[in-house]
Amino acid sequence: MKKRNWLLPVCAAFLLGACSDETAQEPEGTAQQQSAQTDVEDDVASEQSASEQSDIEEQKNAEEQELEEQDAEQAAEPRYRINPQNSQVEPIGDANEQAVLITIDDAPDTYSLEMAKTLKELDVPAIFFVNGHFLDTDEEQQTLSEIHDMGFAIGNHTNTHVNLKQSTESVQQDEIVSLNERVEAITGEVPKFFRAPFGVNTDFSKALAEEQGMVRMNWTYGYDFMQGYMEPEALTEIMVNAPELNNGGNLLMHDREWTKEALPQIIEGLRDKGYEFVDPDEIEGI
């Protein structure tokens, strides 16, 4: 009887110890479960954050693309047109009226590249009207390519600078179309503008220029081919103060040494008078 009484406390102690061990282990298991749950919650939160960030970036990219498309649409809308009767540059809508167009004929003979660099430095757009007989060498073709790559518009001034009224229709066809093909082969782009030598067009050349997708123009004034203006000072004076200078002027200049030297002062003088310069890319019909 005494022996049985001794065993009871031992068994009770053993059972209490086992319960105590289980109780002590429970918090550890609970902590592990909580840690795992926290890790899962962190992963979910991280995925949600990444997803939200991705959504924000996609929305931002979409908004930027929409703005770019709107800007492109606005830029594509013409702001000026060429009056076919007098070659005056006319504003469309709210385009600035006090603006003139700079054009350089007989490119790229000798000074065109220097003139293009000057205009580029002065942030002045222009059209360079090309003659095919100035594209015979690799160097001349490279010069035209550089002018085009600087962002200047290239115009067709015929292949050999003939008087179209004294030429047959087949000659006129060759003079205009063959030059377009040569310019496209060099620059990758067909000329957007056409100017007949001496300003002399025919019904055939007018129709052909339109068929070729070119805007036809002559000019409103120019002096660098006239006696008395073949030196920089006199040319600057007349180009800036000519009686023909007005809003929408279509200014004719040539690849000439005196014109190259006068060009910075001509641009400065026009700007001082409040004139801006028409971007050929904003002319209707190109």
Q: Could you give the angle at the alpha carbon of 85 between the alpha carbons of 82 and 90, nearest 5°?
A: 30
First CA to last CA across the chain, in angstroms? 121
233 within 8 A of 264, measured Cβ to Cβ? no
Three-state DSSP class for 246?
Answer: coil
- pLDDT per residue as tens, the chain (286 positions): 444 444 444 334 444 444 444 444 444 555 555 555 555 555 555 566 666 776 677 777 777 776 665 555 555 699 999 999 999 999 999 999 999 999 999 999 999 999 999 999 999 999 999 999 999 999 999 999 999 999 999 999 999 999 999 999 999 999 999 999 999 999 999 999 999 999 999 999 999 999 999 999 999 999 999 999 999 999 999 999 999 999 999 999 999 999 999 999 999 999 999 999 999 999 999 8
Q: Could you give the angle at the alpha carbon of 48 between the alpha carbons of 43 and 50, nearest 5°?
A: 95
187 token code pair: 């620059």
CB burial of residue 147 (10 Å; 0-12, 13-18, 19+): buried
User: Concatenated DSSP letters for 57-76?
Assistant: HHHHHHHHHHHHHHHHHHHH
